[in-house]
Amino acid sequence: MSSINQISVVFLYCQDLAKQRAFYEQAFGLAKLVVDAKWWVEYAVGTGSHFALHQGKPEHFAGANRAHNTIKFSFDVSDIKNVAAKLQSLGAKFHYEPRLEYGFWLAEFEDPEGNILRLYEKVKK
């Protein structure tokens, strides 16, 4: 029986790769490039995971309602309040500010293209 060891790469498809790349690099200080190609960039994050931005085709976004996507993911951060402030300064719209829930901090925001993502921080003991 097989099992999942970890999530390898999360791809976020973009309408404007250059704009999204600038946003995410500034917001999270992404610098460990694994792939820097014409149609996608991929960053090493944490201990073995990768985050990638990929230029999507226009038909990929036709009729898409990003507010109703069924997949969401969280960025595990060390200082959620400061990261949230930085995201806001870059134009991110927050659905809710950092709040303590279920024993961890959580916040939800929209990136410049309307993708809804989350920030997560473990409660320090």
pLDDT of residue 58: 87
114/125: higher pLDDT: 114
DSSP secondary structure, 7-76, as one string: --EEEEEESSHHHHHHHHHHHH----EEEE-SSEEEEEETTTEEEEEEEPPHHHHTT--GGG-S---EEE
Q: What is the mean pLDDT of residues 95-117?
A: 94
| Three-class DSSP category at 107 | strand
pLDDT of residue 94: 97
pLDDT tens figures, 30-71 = 988 999 999 999 999 988 899 999 999 988 888 888 777 767
Six-digit token string for 117: 């993502």
How many other CB atoms are found less than 10 A from the CB of residue 83? Answer: 20
Please state, rounded to an integer, the average pLDDT across all residues of the chain: 91
User: Domains plus CATH for the chain?
Assistant: 9-54 (3.30.720.120), 72-125 (3.10.180.10)
Tell whether the model's pLDDT for residue 13 goes beyond 90: yes
| Three-class DSSP category at 118 | strand
pLDDT-derived band at 104 (thresholds 50, 70, 90) equals very high
